[in-house]
Chains A and B, each alone.
Chain A
Amino acid sequence: MAAVSRQIGLRAKGLGLILGLALSLQPSALFAQARRIISIIPSTTEMLFAMGAGDRVIAIGTYDKYPPEAQKLPRVGALVDPNVEQILQMRPDLVVVYGTQTELKRRLERANIPYYSYSHQGLPDIFSTMRSLGMRVGMAAQGEALAARLERQLAAIRAKVANRPRPKTLLVMGREPGALRNIYASGGVGFLHDMLEAAGGTDALADIQRQSVDVSNEMVLARAPDVIIELRYTDEAINRADLDVWNRVSAVPAVKNHRVIVLTGDQFVVPGPRVADAVAKMAAAIHPEVGW
């Protein structure tokens, strides 16, 4: 069948699952295989490569740093600055865009190029996206397999920490270097919070119910977390002197008991196939007593 040239934006949750389930029996019924895919989102790029669609990806986004095979592909921008001209010129048959990129979507509609609209909230969304994206590119089975495998890995981690007490954990997403200022941490909702829960920790700021919370010195002392995890997203070496700033609040249990841990890597900010790896690292940091 000729490729359906209708533009459909998909809501990742729910609908994707149902459709994926219904259509996994007829892989070529609604969507033919997409052969020229552009993905400007790091997580969907990783998903496509992980489910075996990597050879069909013709261009990626500015910040897509993984997997290594993708790095040689041309880059066409990202959320704020997609290079629309270049995207159109490459004549893709599917472009994976952010849900908020209304201008880009309009241009693609005018050029009759189908797009997949990506939006993301929590941990479960990763799996529904994998399934619906797999179906959308005509690789529903592979998408399903990828999602299922990761769900199993996560379930295994959850099982390992299930009977352990859950320490109060402050998950620091970033701060001013060399100081305990402008600290922002997970506040009970969102993807990082979900990962923390899966890894067997309790969010120290769970009651605040915000994705990102500005944390002051007083708040750290008041919340008295048992574990502090600092996330760093690049592979730069950790400066010991920079971490020593936590000693200023030595009355915090996490500092007193030397449980301030730095986790590096961008898998913590890319809600994609490496999420199980990220959760495993977090779990190992929070529950070193369990064998990993």
Chain B
Amino acid sequence: MPARTDVRRRLTLTLTGFGALTVIVMLLAPLVGSTSISLSRVFDRSIPFSDNVDAQVFFVARLPRVIAAALVGAGFALSGVVFQGLLRNPLASPDTLGVAAGATLGAMLALTAHADFTIFGIGVVPLTSFAGTIGALAIVMAIAFARRRGTSSTVLLLAGIAIGALLAAAGRFIQYFADVTDTFKTVQWLMGSLDVGSYAPIVASLVPFGIACAGFVTLPRVLDLISLGDAAAEARGVDVVRMERIALVSASLSTGAAVSLGGPVYFVGIIVPHIVRLIVGADHRLVLPASALFGASFLIVCDLIARTIVAPVEMPVGIITAIIGGPFFLWLLFRGR
């Protein structure tokens, strides 16, 4: 590896490179699909939209899907990076801390109760799964930060695992009362789906994503310092308690929004940060934005493959992320170092 001295230069390079990748992928993805459509028909204003099949395929089926994939991929990648830094564990994923178990529980509750309302065009399941995330986060924070001195990553991890286990048990308890159809729907939800079919849930998710990003921008350098130990970070001038809270809330909001939008596709949150680190190094000022961009591109591409490779049917996107991500990661690991 060449001497890495100029962070500014490397940051520009990284953002340009990954940014260009993301833009290209986002522009091309809606053009590809299992159905052939003609772009001239898509943008033909003379055909009323309600009759224009090609336009509906582009604007209702594909474009929201690509945007959702970008947001979900970025959201999970970002929360993955932050959880890994917060817990000082490169194997941490968005669902390590139990906030994701809250999302699953919320979705299960909606499906088992046969709730079918929508609010402002957002379905009940995304709403309840997001509520579940927030609920779980509140519990984890209450436990982990009950100590006046703040938290060590061990306490946080234990609280998160305990809450995750409890919520998962609650989920199984609910399954007991579910009939076969509800169980089937839950299993489907667990496989993830980016086929949102409308813009309302995307717009709604921008609120928690926006708040999360406001938190994320304060974190890059801090994550570097915290990764050497809480005491060491304090000694360097980091307000560790405050920053860990910001990190936890931001990563949880990002996870919750992503799960609501696309289901529990957590693998993205483990693998993208690692791949990005192998390319740009460990400095979180590079890793954080690069992971967001690469996560977006990665999930868009995975979803594109999922919806075209076995046409006319589709595969669950979670399978593709694992099939692609795993070997890609191994290849990067063995070629360098």
CB of A174 within 8 A of chain B?
Answer: yes
Q: Which of A174, A207, A250 contacts B50 (CB 8 A)?
A: A250
Are A233 and B181 within 8 A (Cβ)?
A: yes
Q: Does any Cβ of A come within 8 Å of B35's Cβ?
A: yes
A251 touches B117 (CB 8 A): no
Interface band, chain B: 35 or more
Contact partners of A86 in chain B: CB under 8 A: none
Chain B residues in 8 Å Cβ range of A216:
61, 195, 307, 314
Which of A177, A179, A224, A236 makes the CB contact (< 8 A) with B197?
Answer: A179
| Interface residues in B232-252 (C-beta closer than 8 Å to A) | none
Q: Check A236 against B189 for contact (C-beta < 8 Å).
A: no
| Complex CA distance for A184 and B55, rounded to whole angstroms | 24
Cα of A179 to Cα of B124 in the assembled complex, Å: 8
A208 close to B312 (CB less than 8 A): yes
> How many A residues have CB within 8 A of the partner chain?
36
Contact flag A177-B124 (CB < 8 Å), given A207-B312, A216-B61, A251-B50:
yes
> Is B52 an interface position by the 8 A CB rule?
yes
Evaluate contact between B118 and A242: CB separation under 8 angstroms: yes
A241-B117, A250-B56, A256-B51 known; A218+B124 contact, CB < 8 A:
no
A224 in contact with B117 (CB, 8 Å): no
Is the pair B51, A219 in contact by a Cβ cutoff of 8 Å? no
Which of B35, B60, B123 is A177 in contact with, Cβ under 8 Å? B123
| Cβ–Cβ < 8 Å partners of B57 in chain A | 218, 221-222
Q: B34 touching A219 by the CB < 8 A rule?
A: yes
- Asked if B53 is at the interface of the complex by the 8 Å CB criterion, the answer is yes
Q: Which residue of B lies closest to A178 (CB)?
A: B123
Contact of B118 among A178, A207, A221, A222 (CB under 8 A): A178
Nearest to A219 among chain B residues (CB) is B312
- Interface hits, B185-240 → A, CB 8 Å: 185, 188-189, 193, 195-198, 201
A63 and B114 CA atoms in complex are apart in Å by 17
Q: Is B33 an interface residue (CB 8 A)?
A: yes
Write out the residue numbers on chain B whose beta carbons fall within 8 Å of the beta carbon of A224. Answer: 53
- B118 contacts across to A, CB distance below 8 A: 178-179, 241-242, 245
Q: Is A218 in contact with B188, judged by CB distance below 8 angstroms?
A: no
**For residue A221, which residues in chain B have a CB less than 8 angstroms away from its CB?**
35, 53, 56-57, 60-61
Interface residues of A in 235-264 (CB under 8 A from B): 236, 239, 241-242, 245, 248-252, 256
User: Given the complex, which residues of A lie within 8 Å of B60, measured CB to CB?
Assistant: 217, 221, 248-249
A218: chain B residues at CB < 8 Å are: 33-35, 57, 61-62, 195, 307
Write the residues of chain A forming the contact surface with B, with a CB cutoff of 8 angstroms: 63, 174, 176-182, 184, 207-208, 210, 213-214, 216-219, 221-222, 224, 233-234, 236, 239, 241-242, 245, 248-252, 256, 269
Interface residues in chain B, defined as those with a beta carbon under 8 Å from any beta carbon in chain A: 33-35, 49-53, 55-57, 60-62, 65, 110-111, 114-118, 122-126, 179-181, 184-185, 188-189, 193, 195-198, 201, 307, 312-314, 316
Between A and B, 12 residue pairs with Cβ closer than 8 Å are: A178-B118, A178-B124, A179-B123, A180-B197, A218-B34, A219-B313, A221-B57, A233-B181, A248-B198, A250-B51, A251-B52, A252-B53
